[in-house]
C-alpha cells in the first residue's frame, strides 16, 4: 500500500520539577538548601530514512510523545533528562503545521531536524538562596514541551518525471533505462504507486527518474489514480510526456497530449510550463498508413517541445533519450527545496488557546496569566538579546501590549508574567 499524506500529533517531553530539600547530616550544622534541578524533556526529532518511499509506517501510529524529564532530588541530584523520540520519514517529506498549512521543514537531503523542543527542567531551591533568604521553601516547576498537529506530505525527489495516459509505456521505459523493475502488464493502472529508478550514463553522471501512475481526464479533480500522485512531479525539473504512437488502442496521440496538458494546467499552471520532451513510444508497432505523423509533428513543433521516437520493448533510441535528458538537465536549475514560511512567533498567535487574564495586585503590578504565556516565558532566555527580542515580538503581534494598555497599564508600570517582571513601555 502506498501512503503519501498523513496527519500526526507530536509532543516533546515536559521538563522535570526542581526539588525543595535541605542538607541534613550529622555533624553538619545549618546545611542549607540542596534541592536539585529537574531534567530537560526529550525532543521530537525527524530523520530521513534512506530507501523508503512511502509514509506507510504512519498508518497505525499517529501520536508521538517524547519522554518527560525526571524531577530533581536532594543532595543536589539532577533529574534524568528525557530521551528524544526519533521519527523517520522518506527523503522529500514536507512537514506542515496542520492549523495554518505553513511549511515547517522540507526533509530533503538534510540533517536531523528538531521539530518540538523539550521543556526545560525547573531549578531546585539551591538556586534561590541569598544572604537574606537562607531557607528558600520553593523551587521552580519544569516547563512544558512543545506540541504540534502536523501534516506530512511526500513529494518524491526525482529529476525527471514520466507522465502520460495509462498503458502508454512509462513503466516499460523506466525498466529499459534504469535498474528499477516495476510491474509491467497489458492492462490499465498496472502501476498503483510511483516508482523511482536511477539512470546511470557513466561514472558520476546520471539522474533519478520517477514513473507516475497513469493520468486520465479529470485527474486534477480526483478521477482515477492521478490526483493522488500529481504532487510527486512538482519537484521534477524535466517532464517526459509519453504517448502511444502506435495508436493500438485507437487513441489519437494529439488528443492524449491535450488531455495530460489540461490536467497539469488545472493542477498547477507552473507545472504545465515545466520543460518537456514528448516521448513517442512503441514506434516498433507504428503503422504510418493509419497515423498522421505529419500533423502530430506539426502540433509538437508549434509548442516548442522536443520530440523523440523510441521503443521501450526493442530498446530503439533509448540511449539517445537518456543522452538528451542528461543534456537538458545540465541546462536546468537544481531540484526544488521548499523553504519554511513559518515564523517562530506564529505558534503563539491567534486562536482561543492564546487568551490570558490581566489582574492588578496589591502592589499595583499588572499580573498576566495564561497557559500560553507560561509556555512562552519558559522558552525565553531573558539574558539573551535575540531571545528577548523574540519575546517582545510575540507580545506585540499577539495584542498583549494593546490589552495591557486597555487595562490601564501606563509607561513605567510593572508587568509580571510568572517569574519575569518588566517595566511597561507602551
Whole-angstrom Cα distance, residue 314 to residue 19? 76
Instruction: Give pLDDT tens digits along the chain (426 positions).
Output: 457 789 999 999 999 999 999 988 887 777 889 999 999 999 999 999 987 778 888 988 999 999 999 999 999 999 999 999 999 998 889 999 998 889 999 999 889 999 999 998 999 999 988 888 888 999 988 888 989 999 999 887 889 989 888 888 888 999 888 876 766 655 455 455 677 788 888 766 788 888 887 666 554 555 444 556 677 788 889 999 999 998 877 788 899 899 888 888 888 888 889 999 999 999 988 887 778 899 999 999 999 999 999 999 899 999 999 999 999 999 998 888 888 887 777 777 655 566 788 998 888 899 998 888 887 887 787 888 888 888 888 888 888 888 899 888 988 899 999 878 888 886
- Indicate the SS3 state at residue 82: coil
- Indicate the SS3 state at residue 155: coil
Residue ranges with strand state E in 57-204: 63-65, 85-90, 93-97, 103-107, 113-116, 147-154, 160-163, 195-202
> Please, which residues have CB within 8 angstroms of residue 46's CB and are 6 or more apart in sequence?
86, 87, 88, 89, 93, 95, 105, 107, 112, 113, 115
pTM assigned to the model: 0.75
Which cell goes with 279? 516521448
| Residue 366: strand pairing partners | 360, 415
Burial group, residue 407, by CB count within 10 angstroms (0-12, 13-18, 19+):
middle
Category of 226 on φ-ψ map: left (φ > 0), alpha (ψ -120 to 50) or beta: alpha
Sequential DSSP letters for 10-21: EEPPPPPPP---
Report how far apart, in Å, the C-alpha atoms of 363 and of each of 5, 138, 406, 422 are: 54, 22, 19, 14
Does CATH number 1.10.1040.50 belong to domain 163-329?
no
Does CATH number 3.30.300.350 belong to domain 352-423?
yes
CATH topology of domain 1-155: Spo0b-associated Gtp-binding Protein; Chain: A, (2.70.210)
**pLDDT at position 187, please?**
47
Q: Look up residue 146 and give its DSSP letter.
A: P
For residues 311 and 286, the answer to whether their CB atoms sit within 8 Å is: no
Q: Which residue has the cell 530507501?
A: 51
Q: What's the per-residue H, E or C state across 269-320? A: HHHHCCCEEEEEECHHHCCCCCCCHHHHHHHHHHCCCEEEECECCCCECHHH
- Indicate the SS3 state at residue 341: coil
- Give φ, ψ of 185 to 5 degrees: -150, 165
List the chain domain ranges: 1-155, 163-329, 352-423
Whole-angstrom Cα distance, residue 185 to residue 402? 67
User: DSSP alpha helices (H): ranges in 128-209?
Assistant: 170-177
Amino acid at each position: 500500500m502506498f501512503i503519501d499524506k498523513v496527519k500526526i500529533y507530536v509532543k516533546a517531553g515536559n521538563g522535570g520539577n526542581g526539588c525543595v530539600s535541605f542538607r541534613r547530616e550529622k555533624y553538619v550544622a545549618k546545611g542549607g538548601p540542596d534541592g536539585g534541578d529537574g531534567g530537560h524533556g526529550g525532543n521530537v526529532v525527524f530523520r530521513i530514512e534512506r530507501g523508503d518511499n512511502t509514509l506507510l509506517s504512519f498508518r497505525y501510529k499517529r501520536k508521538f510523545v517524547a519522554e518527560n524529564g525526571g524531577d530533581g532530588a536532594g543532595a543536589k541530584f539532577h533529574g534524568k533528562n528525557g530521551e528524544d523520540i526519533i521519527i523517520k520519514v522518506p527523503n522529500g517529506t514536507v512537514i506542515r503545521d496542520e492549523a495554518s498549512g505553513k511549511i515547517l521543514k522540507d526533509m530533503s537531503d538534510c540533517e536531523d531536524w528538531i521539530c518540538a523542543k523539550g521543556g526545560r527542567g525547573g531549578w531546585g531551591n539551591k538556586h534561590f538562596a541569598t544572604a537574606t533568604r537562607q531557607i528558600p521553601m520553593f523551587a521552580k516547576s519544569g516547563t512544558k514541551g512543545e506540541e504540534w498537529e502536523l501534516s506530512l506530505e511526500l513529494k518524491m525527489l526525482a529529476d525527471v518525471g514520466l507522465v502520460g495516459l495509462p498503458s502508454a509505456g512509462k513503466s516499460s521505459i523506466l525498466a529499459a533505462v534504469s535498474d528499477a523493475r516495476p510491474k509491467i502488464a497489458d492492462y490499465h493502472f498496472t502501476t498503483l504507486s510511483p516508482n523511482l529508478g536511477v539512470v546511470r550514463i557513466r561514472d558520476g553522471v546520471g539522474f533519478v527518474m520517477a514513473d507516475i501512475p497513469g493520468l486520465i481526464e479529470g485527474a486534477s479533480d480526483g478521477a482515477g489514480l492521478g490526483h493522488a500522485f500529481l504532487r510527486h512531479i512538482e519537484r521534477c525539473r524535466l517532464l517526459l510526456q509519453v504517448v502511444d504512437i502506435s495508436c493500438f488502442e485507437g487513441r489519437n496521440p494529439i488528443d492524449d497530449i491535450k488531455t495530460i496538458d489540461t490536467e497539469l494546467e488545472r493542477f498547477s499552471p507552473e507545472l504545465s510550463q515545466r520543460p518537456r520532451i514528448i516521448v513517442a513510444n512503441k514506434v516498433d508497432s507504428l503503422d504510418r498508413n493509419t497515423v498522421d505523423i505529419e500533423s502530430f509533428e506539426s502540433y509538437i513543433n508549434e509548442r516548442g517541445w522536443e520530440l523523440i521516437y523510441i521503443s521501450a520493448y526493442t530498446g530503439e533510441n533509448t540511449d539517445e533519450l537518456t543522452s538528451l535528458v542528461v543534456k537538458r538537465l545540465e541546462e536546468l536549475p537544481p531540484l526544488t527545496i521548499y523553504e519554511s514560511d513559518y515564523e517562530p512567533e506564529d505558534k503563539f498567535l491567534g486562536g482561543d488557546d492564546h487568551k490570558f487574564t490581566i489582574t492588578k495586585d496589591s502592589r499595583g503590578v499588572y499580573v498576566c496569566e495564561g497557559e500560553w504565556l507560561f509556555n512562552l516565558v519558559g522558552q525565553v532566555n531573558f539574558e539573551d538579546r535575540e531571545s528577548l527580542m523574540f519575546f517582545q515580538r510575540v507580545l506585540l503581534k499577539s495584542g498583549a501590549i494593546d490589552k495591557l494598555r486597555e487595562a490601564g497599564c501606563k509607561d513605567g508600570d510593572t508587568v509580571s508574567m510568572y517569574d519575569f517582571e518588566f517595566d511597561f513601555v507602551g
